[in-house]
Structure 1
């Protein structure tokens, strides 16, 4: 049952999605990774080792698959603000869901990488006392990231007062 609406189960459309422009960041990241992976195989090809060309072929296949799945990876990212916590999800094959109680948030940070900054996007990072719950929501529009940070800071402060 949903804490926001008692008696009503949570719906799939309650999840907030990241910006579709974040696909561009994922594609650039996947392309750079593919180029590095292919670059690693070049010395083996130059040295004439038997596995140089197969390794390059494998690197190309991995790079193409990584590029092909980039849009689906972006669509799998979402978050939901509930009464007492923020729930974050991501993943295609390996699903990850993390619930971060507002009262446990110690630091809420906004990061902007060069590609994301060019697209007007930002990443919101949460730091809690538990190292394993490090959560970051990538691909937020900068103004949305600022507004969400301010809202979460006020929620975190109000929850800590009650402790």
Structure 2
């Protein structure tokens, strides 16, 4: 399940961080970073091209302001993306699945198996090309919907089957 994933989960350094419990934390594939770099980098190229066409071709000098702001934001996003990806992890416990992500804005969600209503695997063209997928599961409460990005295709299918089986047994009381 952990073949081809990051070697360890990155934690925030602050003493006020959300404490991770003992147990095995599973991580996502480094291929997720490549997919995000390609998609964000492509969008960055489109923004720069549009900015250059507007300023140089059409003499619309105001385009430097929004284009420059968007370029700075996307370059920053590209720079912190690898660290963000290493901070994504999940843990399968006896009664629930715990998902965590984030360094500055941390999110840790525990979803009880018996409350899961939908477990879905999605992957776009780039995801399929790199052999990764996203696993999404939803509960009755909209705020607890969790998406685990960057899972290897086989891991996503195995995890989906495991979650569905455990959720069924918990709902029926077996």
TM-score (norm 2): 0.78
Please say which of residues 68-77 and 25-34 is displaced more in the overlay: 25-34
**Per-residue Cα deviation, 1:119-139 (whole angstroms, up to 9, x for no partner):** 111111102111111111111
1:48-127, aligned counterparts within 5 Å?
48-127=59-138
Return the alpha-carbon distance in structure 1 between the equivalents of residues 104 and 49 of structure 2.
28
Counterparts in 2 of 1:77 and 1:49: CA distance versus 1, 3 Å: same
State the Cα distance separating 1:87 from its structure 2 match: 0.7
RMSD over aligned Cα atoms: 2.2
1:88, distance to aligned residue in structure 2 (A)? 0.7
Residues 34 and 62, structure 1, Cα contact 8 Å, conserved in 2: no
What TM-score, normalized to structure 1? 0.83
Alignment partner of 1:157 is 2:168: yes
Distance in 2 between residues matched to 1:74 and 1:118, nearest whole Å: 19
Distance (Å, rounded) in 1 between the aligned partners of 2:62 and 2:91: 47
2:100 and 2:51 map into 1 onto residues whose CA distance is 35
What SS does the aligned partner of 1:14 have?
coil
Number of aligned residues: 154
Q: What is the match of residue 145 of structure 1? A: 156
Where structure 2 has 5 or more consecutive residues not aligned to the other structure, the ranges are 1-19
Which of 14, 26, 29 aligns to 1:16? It is 26
| Distance in 1 of aligned mates of 2:169 and 2:83 | 36
Shifted more, 91-100 versus 119-128: the winner is 91-100
Unaligned 5+ segments in structure 1 are 1-8
Once structures 1 and 2 are overlaid, which stretch shifts more, 25-34 or 72-81?
25-34
